Structure 1
Amino acid sequence: MRKNILDFSYEELVDEFSKIGLEKFRVDQVWDWIYKKHEFDFDKMTNLSKEHRNTLSERFYIYVPELLDIQISQIDKTTKFLWKLEDDNTIESVLLFHPDRITACISTQVGCPAKCAFCATGQSGFVRNLSAGEIVSQIIAMEKHRKVNIGNIVYMGMGEPLLNYKEVVKSVKMLNHKKGKNISMRRISISTVGIPEKIVELAQDLPEVKLAISLHAPNNYKRDIIVPMNKKYSVEEIIQSAKEYQKITKNRVTFEYILIREFNDFVDDAEKLAELLKGMGAYVNLIPVNPVPSSGELKFERPHHWAIERFKEVLDKHNIENEIRREKGTDIDAACGQLRRRYITNKK
């Protein structure tokens, strides 16, 4: 049975090629075609002999996801993709354009088991993990479709990356490999809702990669309401693991904090958050919530502008580095999971 070549790391592919009599430099050639020239047809890899191309086609194929939908912001060019995988499941990816770089936000799972109350992805349920190849393929597919060169990656799309730990780590190493995309580890960020033991493991396995923790509340009472996994991993455990991560890597930790009107945007919340992060190398991203339908009593509405500024002032007073995240793609379905959710609903 043929295998998707994108699911193999460089080292694994060297081993696979040796089994069929192909030298190591043939892996270099194939990876150059895939990752740099965005060619996904062995027959068009012209620096390989016809015999080698036939041998590869008999044993491997190159699968990149099929584009189902694309939305491009007329405001800032933010581009959102809906992809179909081999098994007809769908995932999303996003391109973010900055003056000095292009960042890709990629998914690690079909759906998400974390089920955060404010997230459209979680509301659509969890289906399965993505393979390393399916994670990596989002990057090269976006580059080919939009004719861009991605220099920064955030694992912040659909899914909880640390619940697909092995494939996420493998994909990071593939994207970092000098024969592939050659993206610096320091230009890769992994965002997690907070799996303490995996945060410490990540520090040991990928110490240069940046870590972002989706905190969203300064205490267990409020976090339990919006982040169900907090019942398993408390705020205190997550903060402790972040401190251990920092001790090992010496890296600053980013904390994502979604601001929800009259829920977690009070002065007391800001004071408690500052106390929680005191003494850490912490950076807080303040993110006004993207409104999503709610089945409970809590309404996910953006705070008043003055409430956001008030929250920021408290953190500033306590010397906690922070910024109010500038919104991108406000004229499209920018919130993760919205495009997929609409597609699934329309299919029914």
Structure 2
Amino acid sequence: MSDTPASARSGAPAKRTAQVRPATEGWTQKKDAEGRPLLQFASPKRGKPPVHLADLTPAERVEKVKELGLPGFRAKQLATHYFTHYTSDPAHMTDLPAGQRDELVAGMLPPLLTEVRRLETDRGDTIKFLWRLHDGALVESVLMRYPGRITLCVSSQAGCGMNCPFCATGQAGLTRNMSTAEIVEQIVRANRLIAEGGLGGKKADDHSMERVSNIVFMGMGEPLANYKRVMDAVRVMIAPQPEGLGMSARGITVSTVGLVPAINKLADEDIPVTFALSLHAPDDQLRDELIPVNSRWKVDEALDAARGYFEKTGRRVSIEYALIKDMNDHPWRADLLAEKLNARGRGWVHVNPIPLNPTPGSIWTASEKDVQDEFVRRLNDAGIPTTLRDTRGKEIDGACGQLVATTEDEAAAAAMA
């Protein structure tokens, strides 16, 4: 399919608008020997976190408890405390034998995340956590209350290896993959805070549950580059309590910048999570620069895989599109995006344009409101359901693309060590 604007192909005069090219600001993008942006798919070798109950299947939990010298049924009691009461504190586990309680908890529920700092905004309805992992790596997660739901944006890697020039998380590269339990622990800790009343107050007409109902894998990292651990974490999320968190797969969104083989693998999992493709440009010329993984799998390949996900699961796909002033927000790009999506059928996709979180004086800044509105209008007029997404947490650097461990964060973590 051609990436030429429809107006140019039809002979209609194209309105001349600025074209800003992607470029890093304040940091140097890592390149390979051929001068192309470096992509890190494999996790660097580092010491593994301790094995945790959430890393194990129910059968493996029973065997581990027996190894610790207790009867296997204690595994289910531990799981109930962790997945239902959100606690790892042996003092709260009075149904366990007092003489062996501390040893059992130490062996099955070792500490994984140390809270370094917590920032709040939106009247306490949005909270960003900075966590230190066992090896000193830093990750963040963002908890958000909306009418009718509570969403947690989780990290799946410390850092990111996809090297996108506009994303703060990718500047330092990939530190390592997170373990299954480190991913799950973000949810358990968020649920504990909610249970203690730490996430603002819900309105009188809001009858949603007081625990995390929605997960978005849009924190630090490329989820599909840590495929096995992410999918194991999803299985723990959707396992009924007390063996897991008892969440709905439909409330879990797994995103990717376009790792096509992994998208195809996800479609075969038979787990109806929501799938989101971070596209950000419909033409290969721009996307090659904006999303370096496009050098491996082009726009049409990524869209074909996304359409394949819909065909396998029946779940409508989300297209994430950060609107960046004079870079990817041109009307002809809205038309081209609509054309490419419609060429693959109707009713299978929804587009979420996201105003980029602006930095004063940067080339990376949000589109003007009238440009955003025109982009959305063109997609909707072409029959593509499109909704401008609400961005939360900008004031605390907790919005999309802002999650990164700063030098201030590192100093705070070092002071706790």
TM-score when normalising by structure 2: 0.77
Q: Which residue of 1 aligns with 2:24?
A: none
Q: CA RMSD in A?
A: 2.3
- Whether 1:275 aligns to 2:335 is no
* Alpha-carbon shift at residue 75 of structure 1 (Å): 4.7
- Whether 1:26 aligns to 2:74 is yes
* Alpha-carbon shift at residue 58 of structure 1 (Å): 6.4
**Cα distance in 2 for residues equivalent to 1:227 and 1:293:** 23
**Cα distance in 1 for residues equivalent to 2:102 and 2:365:** 57
Q: What amino acid maps onto 1:285 in structure 2?
A: N
SS of 2:280 mapped into structure 1? coil
SS of 2:211 mapped into structure 1? coil
Q: Which residue of 2 aligns with 1:170?
A: 232
Is the 2:220–2:403 Cα contact (8 Å) retained in structure 1?
Answer: no
* Alpha-carbon shift at residue 327 of structure 1 (Å): 2.3
Q: Which residue of 2 aligns with 1:249?
A: 313
Residues 302 and 39 (structure 1), Cα distance of their counterparts in 2 relative to 1, 3 Å cut: same
Q: Which residue of 1 aligns with 2:363?
A: 299
Is the 1:5–1:60 Cα contact (8 Å) retained in structure 2?
Answer: yes
- Whether 1:62 aligns to 2:110 is yes
* Alpha-carbon shift at residue 48 of structure 1 (Å): 1.4
Q: What amino acid maps onto 2:286 in structure 1?
A: K
- Higher mean C-alpha displacement, 238-247 vs 338-347: 338-347
Residues 155 and 338 (structure 1), Cα distance of their counterparts in 2 relative to 1, 3 Å cut: closer
- Whether 1:94 aligns to 2:94 is no
Is the 1:119–1:292 Cα contact (8 Å) retained in structure 2?
Answer: no
**Cα distance in 2 for residues equivalent to 1:76 and 1:213:** 30
- Whether 1:207 aligns to 2:207 is no
- Higher mean C-alpha displacement, 311-320 vs 3-12: 3-12
- Structure 1 or 2: more helix by fraction: 1
Is the 1:258–1:286 Cα contact (8 Å) retained in structure 2?
Answer: yes
**Cα distance in 1 for residues equivalent to 2:387 and 2:72:** 47
Q: Which residue of 2 aligns with 1:261?
A: 325
SS of 1:141 mapped into structure 2? helix
- Whether 1:290 aligns to 2:357 is yes
**Cα distance in 2 for residues equivalent to 1:72 and 1:84:** 18
Question: 1:65-100 CA distances to partner (integer Å, 9 max, x unpaired)?
Answer: 111111111456211111111111110000111110
Q: Which residue of 2 aligns with 1:187?
A: 251
Q: Which residue of 2 aligns with 1:341?
A: 406
Q: What amino acid maps onto 2:350 in structure 1?
A: Y
**Cα distance in 1 for residues equivalent to 2:281 and 2:252:** 25
Q: What amino acid maps onto 1:241 in structure 2?
A: A
**Cα distance in 2 for residues equivalent to 1:27 and 1:52:** 13
Q: Which residue of 2 aligns with 1:324?
A: 388
- Whether 1:133 aligns to 2:198 is no
**Cα distance in 1 for residues equivalent to 2:118 and 2:310:** 38
Is the 1:118–1:292 Cα contact (8 Å) retained in structure 2?
Answer: no
- Higher mean C-alpha displacement, 14-23 vs 24-33: 14-23
* Alpha-carbon shift at residue 242 of structure 1 (Å): 1.1
Is the 2:68–2:104 Cα contact (8 Å) retained in structure 1?
Answer: no
Q: What amino acid maps onto 1:168 in structure 2?
A: V
Is the 1:75–1:329 Cα contact (8 Å) retained in structure 2?
Answer: no
Is the 1:153–1:189 Cα contact (8 Å) retained in structure 2?
Answer: yes
- Higher mean C-alpha displacement, 271-280 vs 68-77: 68-77
**Cα distance in 2 for residues equivalent to 1:125 and 1:58:** 33
Q: Which residue of 2 aligns with 1:72?
A: 120
Is the 1:82–1:339 Cα contact (8 Å) retained in structure 2?
Answer: no
Structure number with greater Rg is 2
- Higher mean C-alpha displacement, 277-286 vs 21-30: 21-30
Aligned pair count reads: 345
Q: Which residue of 2 aligns with 1:314?
A: 378
SS of 1:32 mapped into structure 2? helix
- Higher mean C-alpha displacement, 99-108 vs 41-50: 41-50
Q: Which of 100, 120, 138 pairs up with 2:168?
A: 120
- Structure 1 or 2: more strand by fraction: 1
Question: 1:87-134 CA distances to partner (integer Å, 9 max, x unpaired)?
Answer: 111100001111101011100000000111111101122100000010
* Alpha-carbon shift at residue 334 of structure 1 (Å): 2.1
Is the 2:254–2:274 Cα contact (8 Å) retained in structure 1?
Answer: yes
Residues 57 and 254 (structure 1), Cα distance of their counterparts in 2 relative to 1, 3 Å cut: closer
SS of 2:75 mapped into structure 1? helix
Residues 103 and 287 (structure 1), Cα distance of their counterparts in 2 relative to 1, 3 Å cut: same
Q: Which of 151, 157, 161 pairs up with 1:103?
A: 151
Q: Which residue of 2 aligns with 1:81?
A: 129
Question: 1:305-330 CA distances to partner (integer Å, 9 max, x unpaired)?
Answer: 00000001110111001100122223
Q: Which residue of 1 aligns with 2:101?
A: 53
Q: Which of 84, 93, 100 pairs up with 1:36?
A: 84
**Cα distance in 1 for residues equivalent to 2:50 and 2:300:** 47
- Higher mean C-alpha displacement, 338-347 vs 179-188: 338-347
Structure 1: gaps of 5 or more residues: none
- Whether 1:11 aligns to 2:59 is yes
**Cα distance in 1 for residues equivalent to 2:222 and 2:382:** 31
Residues 283 and 69 (structure 1), Cα distance of their counterparts in 2 relative to 1, 3 Å cut: same
Residues 214 and 21 (structure 1), Cα distance of their counterparts in 2 relative to 1, 3 Å cut: same
**Cα distance in 1 for residues equivalent to 2:165 and 2:50:** 40
